[in-house]
Structure 1
Amino acid sequence: MQIQTATLGYPRIGKNREVKKALEAFWSGNLESESLLQTVRKVEESNWKSQLEAGIDHIGIGDTTLYDHVLDWTFRFGLIPERFQQLSGLERYFTMARGKEGIPALEMTKWFDTNYHYLVPEIAEQTLPSDFSDFLERVSRAQKILGKRAIPIVLGPCTLLRLSKLSLNIQQAISKLIPLYINLLTELKNLGVEEVQIHEPALVLGDTNSCKSHFKTVYQSLSLVEIPLHLVTYFDDLGETYPWVMELPVSAISLDFTRGRNLELIKTYGFPANKRLGAGIIDARNIWQIRSEKVIPILQEIVETLHGTSIHIQPSASLQFVPYDAKREKRLPSPLRNVLSFAEQKLQEVVFLARTIIGENTKIEQEIIETSWNKFEEFNPANQSVEERLKTLKTDDFQRSLSYGLRLDSQISLPLFPTTTIGSFPQTSEVRQLRMRYKRGELSQSEYETAIDVQIAESIKLQEELGLDVLVHGEFERTDMVEFFGQQLSGFAFTENGWVQSYGSRYVRPPIIYGDVVRTAPMTVREFKVAQSLTEKPVKGMLTAPVTILNWSYPRIDISRSEQAFQIALALRDEVADLEAAGAKVIQVDEPALREGLPLKVERWNEYLSWAVDAFRLATAIAQPQTQIHTHMCYCEFGDIIKDIERLDADVISIENSRSNNQTLREITEGGYSHQVGNGVYDIHSPVVPTTEQILQQLRTGIANLPVKQIWVNPDCGLKTRRWSEVIPALKNMVEATKVLREEANVTVK
C-alpha cells in the first residue's frame, strides 16, 4: 500500500485580497489587463509554493480564476451565447459575468450547497472555437515550480452539463463536449502531465442514477486519450451511483468522508483493486482543527477495509471555502485560535494523518491537538439560560397569533404595487472610512453614530424624493448582513483576515460560531428609530434570519445545526419584539440561504426543512398581527420547496428574478404561493441601469403570473455593491414604471 498526500484546490483570492483589489481597479479603469493577470499569476504561484513547502505530494492546480471557475470552463470550451459573441477577450468574459448595456449577464446561482455562486452556462448549437491557451500556460508554469507534483484540475463534462441551461438535447450536448475534452486532455498529455483531476461533484446528487449512460459514454471516450484520470467527487456520498461509478475507466476516485456514508458504501460494495482512493478525510468546509481521536480511527478503518489499495489522504474538497492561515488571527483568544484550522493548517493536518498511517511517530503532535481542545472546552462553558429557554419552547412560540388571511386587513395601507428596496444602499468609501475610523478609535461612539445618522437622513430624503412607499435606513453601519449581527451576539468570533470568495470580487468573512448564542442588547433599534423619526412613511426594521446566519457562518461541530439555528432564532425573536415596541410596522427578516442549506439528496430534505422553517417561525411568530413580516431570498431555485417557503408564514417575500428570466416567478406561481411577492425587477449585480420600459416589461410579466394584489416592486437584492450614480436612476426608473402600471390599472396613488 502506498500512502501519499494530495489537494483538490486552494484559496484563490490572495492572502491580502490581492485579486479583489486588482479586479476592482481594472473595472474602474485604473489598472491595465496585463497587471490584473500578473496579480493573479503571483497569487497562484504563492499558493503552489505553500502546498509544496507543506510537503503535499500531488498538488491540484489550475483552479485560480478571475471571477468564477465554471465561467472559465464555459469560456475555454467556446460555449459563448450568441449575445456575447460580438465581444472578445476580457470584455466578453466580464460581460458574461456582469452584463453591460443591452447584454444581460449569465444567470448566477449557488454552487451545490455552498455559499459560493457560479455563472450558469448556456449551451446552444452555435458556439465558438475552444481555446485552452490560458490553462495550458498555467499548467506549464506549475510544472516549472512543482514538477510532477502539479496535477491539473478540470471541471468534469457531466457536471458542466448538469449545471447548464441547454437549448439542445442532452445527447447533442454530450456529442459537442466530448471532442473538446479529448482535445484538452491530449494537449495536457503532450505537456507531459501524468494525471488529471476531473471534478464531478454532480455524482453525489440524489438523481444522478438517471445519468448513468451519459457518464459511461463520456468516460469511455475520454479514456481513449490514455492519460490517467482522477475522478473527484465531494460534498456528499455517491449513494446508489457507487457500484457503477467504481466501474468507470479512471485510475483514481476521490470520495468525501466528512459528509454522507461513503465508508459504509466501501464496506458494502468494496473498492476496485486497480484504482487509487482519494480519501477526503479533512473537512474542507469548516475551520475546526481535527479531533485526532475521532479522525484517525476512521482513516485506519478505511485503510484496513481497502486491503493494500493505494490511498491519497487529502481535504474533502477544494480549500477555497476556508481562509488562508489561522495564525494571522492575533486578536482571537488563544484557546479559540489554537483549535482553528484554515487552509495552511489543513495542509499540515493532511501530512500529519499520512505520517500517522504509515507509522511515523506523531505522538507529540496528537498530544498538542488534544491539549488545545481541552483548553478550548475550559474556555467555552455552556450557557445554562439558553439551554433552559430551548427546553421550554411551546407550539405557540412557532406560529403567529392570526393566520395570513386574517391579519392582512390590520397591516399598513399601501397603494397597489408598493415599492421598496431590499435594505442596503451603496457602501461608499466615505461610509467605509467612517467604520474604519471608529474601529481604530479615531471616532467616539457618539461621533460615529452622528455620522451614520447623517447617512441615514440623506437616504431617507432620497427615498422620499424618489417616491418609494416603504423605506429602509440603508444599513450604513453594517459591513455584512451576517457579520453585523454576529458581532453583537455572544458565542460568535470574527477574524481579521478570514476572507473567502462568494463570487467575483465579492468576498466575505464568515463568523465563527464557537459557543452558545445570546443577545445581550438590542442590535438594530437605534438606527430604526432614527430613520423612522425622519419620515411619515413606514421604515422597515432589517434583520438577517437564523438559518442564513447559520449557513453563512462556520458552525460548531459539538452540537447540531438545528440547535444552533434555534439559539439564533431566540436572539432574533427578542429583536423583533423590541423593533415592534419601537414602532416598526414592517420588519424584514432575510433568509436567502434557506435553499442553500438543503441537503443534496432528497431523502434528507424533510428533516432539514422542518427545523429550518421552524427556526424562522420562532424568530418571527412573536410579531403582532398588524406587523408585516417580510423576507428576501435570492440566487437559488425555489420551485421544489415552495410549500416550505410558504410555511415560513412571511407576509411578503422579495425574490431575485431578473437574471433567472422569470423562472423564479414561474416557480412561485406554479407552486400556488398565496402570500405577497416582491418581483425582483432588475439585476443589482450588473452596473447597467435598467430603463423604465425594461422594468415595466418585468412588472407586466409579474402581473401575468400573479394576482395584482400580491405584487410588490423592488430590485432583486441589496444595493450595497452599487454606486449611487447607478442606484438613483435605476430606482427612479423603477418608480416611474410602477406609476405607469398603476395608471393602467386605474389606481390613484395615495
Structure 2
Amino acid sequence: MKIQTATLGYPRIGKNREVKKALEAFWNGKIGSQSLLQTVKEVEEANWKTQLDAGIDKIGIGDTTLYDHILDWTFRFGLIPERFQQFSGLERYFAMARGKEGISALEMTKWFDTNYHYLVPEITSGALRADWSDFIERVSRAQEILGKRAIPIVFGSCTLLRLSKLDLNVDTAISQLIPLYTDLLTELKSLGISEVQIHEPALVLGDGNNWKEHYQAVYKSLSGVEIPLNLVTYFDDLGETYSWVMDLPVNAISLDLTRGSNLELIKTYGFPEDKRLGVGIVDARNIWQICPEEVIPKLETIKDVVREFEVQPSASLQFVPYDATRETQLPEALRNVLSFAEQKLQEVVFLAQKITVCDAKYNHEPLVNFNRNNSQNQSKFDATKLTVTYYKKDQKTIETAWEKFRRFSPINQIVQQQLKSLTSKDFERNLSYDLRRSLQISLPVFPTTTIGSFPQTSDVRKLRVRYKRGEISQEDYQTAIKAQILECIRSQEEAGLDVLVHGEFERTDMVEYFGQQLQGFAFTQNGWVQSYGSRCVRPPIIYGDVIRTQAMTVDEFIYAQSLTEKPVKGMLTGPVTMINWSYTRTDISRQEQAFQIALALRDEVTDLEAAGAKIIQIDEPALREGLPLKTKRWNEYLSWAVDSFKLSAGIAKPGTQIHTHMCYSEFGDIITDIERLDADVLSIENSRSNNETLYELTDGGYSKQVGNGVYDVHSPAIPTTEQMLSQLRTGIANLPVKQIWVNPDCGLKTRRWEEVIPALKNMVEAAKKLREEANVTKGD
C-alpha cells in the first residue's frame, strides 16, 4: 500500500524575499501593481514546482498572500468595515492592512502561539458580496502546473469568526457565510478539484466545545456540495472535542502529532474507518531534522489503528525558512541536523516511503508497537542505519549526524552549576514597588518616551552589510554607528521627549543582536520567515547552553548618555521573547533555556547600572504568544516565563527603574501574571485596539505605571495631536495620573524619519496639553 503525502502551505516570501522587496517598492511608488502581482505569481509558482519536484502527492495551494492570508479571506468574503468602503482594489486592501491618513488599520495580533501576526477581521451586519476571483484564478493556474495534485486551501468559517471582532451574533454570521462557502466549493468542484483543505485551527482552542453546534451546522451544509473535504487542524490536539469532530461529515481530518496529545487520543478512541487521517508528523514550526528512531514508531502505531492515512507536515511550512543547504557559513555539524522547508518535504516523502516499504516487507506487522514489548519486532528496525542512509552521511562511519552534533555542542558545566545554585531571592527585587518608586528618577507627569528603535534606513542597513563583508574596519563602523546615535539623540531632544533611547542602529533584530553575542546561538544567512506583511525576520537557532562572555549594550549606552542630560534607557530583549522568537532546542526544556538567557541578561543589567543607567527596559513582547493554546497548561508556562523575567531584573537596585514592553497581545486573562513581573513601567500597544488593551489592564486593577501606546507604528499615517490627545484622555479616565506614560505602540525601525519626527512632536505636544488640562506637572 502506497502512503500518500501532502502539504498544508509553504513559505510565501520568496527564497530571496522577493515579495517583501516588491511590496516595499510598490508602496514607495517605484513599481506598479502589475509588477508586484507578477512577482507574487512567480514566487507562488516556484513554490508549487519545488513541492512537485519533491514528490508530494497533494500540494496545498492558495495560501500565498500580498500581506496576510486572513486579510485575503476577509477581503474575498466582502467583510469590509465602513471606513474602508470609500476605497477599492489594492488601495482598499492595503488601507485595511496599514491604514490611511486619519483611518486606522485593522487590529493586528498574534496568530495562535506563533510569532506571525494576522489582521483581525471586523464583522458587522449587512449583506455580503463575495469575490474570490483571484483565488479561482490561482487554483486554475495551479491545475495547469500540478494537475490533480493541486489541493486548494480554504480558510474555515468557524475559525474566521472565532478570531474576528463580531458586531452580530455568531448564528447570524454563520447564516451569512454558509451560502458563500457553498458557492465557493461548488465553483471549485466545477474546476474538477479532487479535494479541498478547509483549515480550522480554532478547533484546538480550549473553547472548542462552545462552537460544536456551529461546526456541525457548517459542515452539514458544506457536505451537500459533495466535494471531498479535508478538515485541517494544527498547533495542538483536539482534546475534549475529539469525539464529535470525528463525526463531522468530512472525508479526511488532519491532526498535528508534534504538539499536544493527538496520538494518545487516536490510540484511546480510535479513528473513523470512513475517513482518512492526515498525519502531521514532521514539525512545521522548528528547524531540527527528524530523528527516525522517534518518528517511525509513531507512524507504526498509526498504521495499527488507522485504515487510511497520509504523511504531511504538522502545519503550513510558512514558519520555517526555505532551504538549509544555503547556510554554508554554519558549522557542518550543526547544518547537517537542520531541516527547513525543502528538507521537510524530503522528510515527508521519506517517511511515507519507509512506511510503505516496511508495510510490504513485513506484511503489515508493526516494527515497533507501543502496546507490546516485542523485542523481535523491534530488532527489525535499525534507526542508526536508516539515519545514515537517508541523510547521506559518511557511510564509512557508524556515527549519525545527531551523534556528531552532540559532540560539537556538549553540556556547559558552569551554566548548569549556576542554575542549580539559584534561590528564591534571585527572582525578587530588594524592595517592593511602592517603596522603590520614590527612589527612582523624577520625571514630569505623563513622561514621554519611545519603545527603543528608530528608523533603520537603507544607509544603516548598507553600513552593517559592508561591515559584515569586511569592507570597512570595526573602528569605521563604530564611528558611523555613533554618528547615527548622535543624530537620534538630537532628534529626540528637538522633539521634546523626556526619556531617550540610543536608537538601536547596530541591531538588525531585537533577538538576533543579543543572540549573536551569546554562546549557544547560531544565525542563518537566508533563514527569513514572515512576521507580518513585508516584515521578515531570521529567528536565531538555540543549539547549546547559553553563555554571556562580555557586555553587549554598555558601550552604546555610555556614548548615548554622554550626549544628553536627559535619561537614556538601557535596552534589552527579555528571555521569554528570545525563546519564543527563536528555534529552540528539543533536548532540554524551554524553561531551562529561558533561565540560561536570564542569567546572561542579569549580568548585563549589572553592567548597565555600573555605567550609570537609571532606566533599563527588558522587552517581552512575546510573553503572551507563548501561552499554550489550552488554558489548563497556562499555569506551568506562566510560572517559568514570569520567573525568567524576574531572574533577569531581580538583580537591579531599587533606584533603577525597570521597564518592559508588550505588543499586539490580549492581557485581560493574564493580568495577575503581568503584575507579578514586578516591572515598574509597562508599555503597551493600544492604538489599533480602540483602547481595549488599556481597559483590560485597568479592569484587572493593574497597579504599576503604563505606557499607553498612542501612535500606530505599523501605519505610514502620521497621527495628529488631537488624535493622540483623545486617546490619552481615555487613559486619564481609567488610570491615576501618576501611572500614565506616553509612547508609540512599538519600535520605530520600520518607519521613515519624515514620518517619525512629526509624529513624535505631535505626541509630545499632546502630553503637554494633557498636563495643562490636568493642571499637574509631576508624576506624584
CA contact (8 A) 2:292 2:386 kept: no
Determine the structure 1 residue equivalent to 2:232: 232
Aligned-partner residue type, residue 107 of structure 2: E
- Whether contact under 8 Å (1:483, 1:511) holds in the other structure is yes
Matched, 1:614 2:643: yes
Output one character per residue of 1:704-741: Cα deviation in whole Å (capped at 9) or x when no partner: 11111000000000000000000000000000011101
Check whether the contact 1:81–1:127 (CA below 8 A) recurs between aligned residues: no
Please tell me the residue identity of whatever aligns with 1:367: V
Summarize deviations over 1:151-199 as a string: whole Å, max 9, x none.
0001000000001001111111001110110111011001111110000
Superposition deviation, residue 365 in structure 1:
4.6
Q: TM-score, normalised by structure 2?
A: 0.95
Is residue 724 from structure 1 mapped to residue 722 from structure 2 by the alignment? no
SS, match of residue 625 in structure 2? coil
Q: Give the whole-Å Cα distance in 1 for the aligned partners of 2:410 and 2:36.
A: 47
Deviations 1:465-511 (A, max 9, x none): 11110000000000000000000000000000000000000000000
1:358 corresponding residue in structure 2? 356
User: 316, 320, 344: which one pairs with 2:342?
Assistant: 344
Q: Report if aligned partners of 1:98, 1:686 keep a CA contact under 8 Å in 2.
A: yes
1:271 equivalent in structure 2 = 271
Provide the residue aligned with 1:184 in structure 2.
Answer: 184
Q: What is the aligned partner in structure 2 of residue 625 from structure 1?
A: 654
Alignment of 1:299-314 (within 5 A): 299-306=299-306, 309-314=307-312
Q: Is the 8 A contact 1:653 1:677 kept in 2?
A: yes
| Counterpart-to-counterpart distance in 2, 1:657 and 1:253 | 38
1:209-255 deviation digits (Å, cap 9, x = unpaired): 01100100010011111111100000000000000000000000000
What residue number does 1:442 align with?
471
Which residue number corresponds to residue 576 of structure 1?
A: 605
Please give the per-residue CA displacement for 1:61-99, whole angstroms capped at 9, x wherever unaligned: 000000000000000001111111111000000000000
Aligned positions of 1:94-243 closer than 5 A: 94-243=94-243
Matching of residue 662 in structure 1 with residue 691 in structure 2: yes
What residue is the counterpart of 2:251 in the other structure?
A: 251
Match of 1:320 in 2: 318
1:524 partner letter: T
Aligned to 2:454: 425
Report the Cα distance in structure 2 between the residues aligned to 1:748 and 1:72, rounded to whole angstroms. Answer: 48
TM-aligned CA deviation for residue 583 of structure 1: 0.2
Structure 1 residues 424-503: aligned runs within 5 Å:
424-503=453-532
Task: Using the TM superposition, name which of 127-136 and 657-666 deviates more.
Answer: 127-136
C-alpha contact (below 8 Å) 2:102/2:719 kept by paired residues: no
Residue in 2 that maps onto 1:36: 36
Distance 1:449 1:102 in 2: 40
Distance 2:731 2:630 in 1: 32
Equivalent pairs, count: 748
Corresponding residue number in structure 2 for 1:292: 292
Query: Aligned pair 1:412/2:433, yes or no?
Result: no
Q: CA deviation at 1:127?
A: 5.0
Give the one of 573, 577, 602 matched to 1:544. Answer: 573
Deviations along 1:646-679, whole A, 9 cap, x unmatched? 1000000000001011000000001100000000
Indicate the residue corresponding to 1:69 in structure 2. Answer: 69
Indicate if the aligned counterparts of 1:422 and 1:714 stay in contact, CA closer than 8 A: yes
Conserved 8 A contact 1:204-1:238: yes
> Which secondary structure does the structure 1 equivalent of 2:542 belong to?
strand
Q: 1:53 to 1:734 in 2, by over 3 A?
A: same
Q: Is the 8 A contact 1:473 1:527 kept in 2?
A: yes
Q: What is the distance in 2 between the residues matched to 1:103 and 1:190? A: 40
**Structure-2 residue corresponding to 1:17:** 17
Alignment correspondent of 2:409: 380
**1: CA distance between counterparts of 2:778 and 2:605?**
30
User: Which stretches of structure 1, 4 residues or longer, exceed 6 Å deviation after superposition?
Assistant: none
Q: Quote how far apart the aligned CAs of 1:599 are.
A: 0.1
Q: Name the residue aligned to 2:772.
A: 743
Task: Give the drift of 1:366.
Answer: 2.3
Aligned equivalent of 2:374: none
What is aligned with 1:59?
59
Contact 1:742 1:749 in 2 (8 A): no
* CA apart distance, 1:749: 7.5
Question: C-alpha distance in 1, partners of 2:461/2:451?
Answer: 20
CA contact (8 A) 2:451 2:745 kept: yes
User: Matches of 1:528 and 1:647 in 2, distance apart?
Assistant: 28
Residue from 418, 430, 445 that aligns with 1:401: 430
In the other structure, the counterpart of 1:329 is: 327
CA distance in 2, matches of 1:292, 1:255: 19
CA distance in 2, matches of 1:500, 1:619: 28
Identify unmatched segments of 5+ residues in structure 2. 362-380, 392-398
Partner of 1:5: 5
CA distance in 1, matches of 2:387, 2:351: 10
2:550 corresponds to:
521
Show the counterpart of 2:632: 603
Deviation at 1:682, TM superposition (A): 1.4
Q: CA deviation at 1:359?
A: 1.5
Deviation string for 1:555-578 (max 9, x for gaps)? 001000000000000000000000
Counterpart contact for 1:2–1:310, Cα < 8 Å: no
1:605-652: per-residue Cα shift (whole Å, max 9, x none)?
A: 000000000000000000000000000000011110011001000000
Which secondary structure state, in structure 1, belongs to the residue aligned with residue 53 of structure 2? helix
Matched residue type, 2:614: K
Residue 401 (structure 2) pairs with residue 389 (structure 1): no
Q: Is the 8 A contact 2:67 2:97 kept in 1?
A: yes
Aligned to 1:710: 739
Q: Which amino acid aligns with 2:286?
A: N
AA paired with 2:642? V
Give the match's secondary structure for 1:358.
helix
State the alpha-carbon separation in 2 of the partners of residues 749 and 604 from structure 1. 43
Does the aligned pair in 1 maintain the 2:514–2:552 contact within 8 Å?
Answer: yes
Q: Aligned to 1:254, what secondary structure does the other structure show? A: strand
User: How far did 1:367 drift?
Assistant: 2.2
Give CA deviations for 1:16-58 in whole Å, capped at 9, x if unaligned. 1000000000000111101111100100100000000000010
Return the alpha-carbon distance in structure 1 between the equivalents of residues 64 and 492 of structure 2. Answer: 41
Displacement after TM superposition at 1:2 (Å): 5.0
Letter in 2 for 1:413: S
* Letter matched to residue 358 of structure 1: T
CA RMSD in angstroms, aligned pairs only: 1.1
Query: Secondary structure at 1:348's aligned position in 2?
Result: helix
CA distance in 2, matches of 1:202, 1:389: 41
Distance 1:533 1:179 in 2: 65
Structure 1 residue 311: Cα displacement? 0.8
Q: SS in structure 2 opposite 1:584?
A: coil
8 A Cα contact 1:61 1:142, kept in partner: yes
Give the secondary structure class of the aligned counterpart of 2:298.
helix
* Contact in 2 for aligned 1:82/1:126 (Cα 8 Å): no
Conservation of the 8 A alpha-carbon contact between 1:73 and 1:155: yes
Give the superposition deviation at 1:747.
2.7
Cα displacement (A) at 1:302:
1.1
